[in-house]
């Protein structure tokens, strides 16, 4: 490998232990925002990219979709999912992030080993963050105007369903015979 080059994505995947999730790539292709369709209307095309900034430590993918509450009230839904190379470190980082970064949070039931939902104190943004082994996924809704309590509850329900549908698709690696 030439000096200064990063490992290939395939090398990163094969280095992940059995039972761990491989780094998710092109997550937009695997997401189905239909969970939101009975509450909001999809607006425009999705935008996504891979986030392999530190492939030796963590790598993932991002996807954004705009949805409408009707009229000009838009909500930007952002989805980020990444897999760390080590599940123990992923657990520690998840716990630390939960305590330090998200003040208005509550433990949530959802897919994965840990989950919490939050509201941003400085904006109408809400989100759900989950961890399953070395995989961490976060879905966040950033509305242009405050959501009603019913819309917040509906959004959290949709976020949970979206993750429940996606995480099994990302499936942990099987042990090799």
CA separation for the pair 52, 28 (Å, rounded) = 15
Residue 101's pLDDT band (cuts 50, 70, 90): low
- Between residues 52 and 152, which one has the greater pLDDT? 152
Give mean pLDDT, residues 20-32: 85
pLDDT digits (tens, 9 = 90+) for 71-80: 667 888 888 8
Contact 24, 168 (CB under 8 A): no
Residue with tokens 């941003």: 120
Per the prediction, the chain carries an average pLDDT of: 76
Residue 165 host element (H or E) = helix 149-170
Structure-token pair, residue 154:
């509906």
Contact 68, 43 (CB under 8 A): yes
pLDDT score of 17? 63
pLDDT at 177 over 50: no
Sort strands 74-84 and 58-68 into parallel, antiparallel or unpaired: antiparallel
Query: DSSP letter string over 34-55?
Result: GGGTTTSEEEEEEEEEE--SBT
Structure-token pair, residue 115:
């989950």
pTM reported for the whole predicted model: 0.78
């Amino acid at each position: 490998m030439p000096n200064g080059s990063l490992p290939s994505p395939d090398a990163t995947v094969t280095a992940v232990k059995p039972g761990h999730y491989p780094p998710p790539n092109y997550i937009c292709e695997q997401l189905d925002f239909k969970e939101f369709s009975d509450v909001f209307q999809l607006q425009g095309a999705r935008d996504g990219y891979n986030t392999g900034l530190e492939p030796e430590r963590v790598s993932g993918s991002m996807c954004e979709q705009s949805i409408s509450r009707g009229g000009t009230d838009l909500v930007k839904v952002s989805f980020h999912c990444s897999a760390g190379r080590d599940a123990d470190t992923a657990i520690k980082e998840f716990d630390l992030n939960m305590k330090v970064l998200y003040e208005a949070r509550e433990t949530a039931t959802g897919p994965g080993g840990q989950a919490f939902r939050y509201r941003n104190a400085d904006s109408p943004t809400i989100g759900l963050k989950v961890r399953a082994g070395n995989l961490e996924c976060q879905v966040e809704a950033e509305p242009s105007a405050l959501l009603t309590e019913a819309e917040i509850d509906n959004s959290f329900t949709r976020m949970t369903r979206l993750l429940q549908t996606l995480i099994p698709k990302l499936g942990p690696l099987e042990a090799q015979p």
